[in-house]
Amino acid sequence: MSNEYDNHKQNFTDIKAELNKISGQLKTNNSSVNTVDKKLSASLNDMKRENDRLQNELLEVQMKAMSNNLIFYNIPEINDENCRHTIDLFCEEKLKIENPSNIVVTDTYRLGKKGNKIRPILVKFSSFENRDNVKKRAKYLKGLEFGISEQLPLEIQKRRKEKLPIMKQLRDQDVKAYFVKDKIFVGGKEYTP
């Protein structure tokens, strides 16, 4: 009986030693996992910052590429039309621009697939100055079904759309507010609600 007791005691001591060894290994492994987790978290944060930086850089490149472009809305579409000729007529008749064919344009075309709705016309001007001179004439379209807007990247359009209620509220209060990229400006300064 004493022998059996000694065997059980020895087995118990061996099991206890093995458990202590396993416990030590688990603590070491846990510490290693925590270290790896911290490194991964830091790397992930670095990647997120880099991704944000690259997205902002891409937006800037897109804005620059689109800076000379305007989109014209609700100009009736005809079969086999020459978009440049259509825009010249529109500029002359609706925007009261004399000799619109003298404005240097690099490209004009309808956006989207032909369907039931009137497709907008994208006009790429040779310079920002030409584009801006045409855009300033949009005041002649007030009260008409036509429209002119800058071409903007989808992300900027989305951000503007989110801020549109604020813009409308300011204008309802007779505050002269306008967008620059995706920010609202009042009195030449960025507006923060």
pLDDT of amino acid 26: 80
pLDDT digits (tens, 9 = 90+) for 8-54: 777 778 788 888 888 888 878 887 888 888 888 889 999 999 999 99
Q: Which of 109, 128, 137, 120 is nearest to 63 (CA)?
A: 128
Whether 87 and 105 have beta carbons less than 8 Å apart is answered as yes
Give the integer Cα–Cα distance in Å for 171 and 56: 29
pLDDT digits (tens, 9 = 90+) for 55-108: 999 999 999 999 999 999 999 999 999 999 999 999 999 999 999 999 999 999
Coil, helix or strand for 184?
strand
Helix axes 154-172, 2-66, angle to 10 degrees: 70
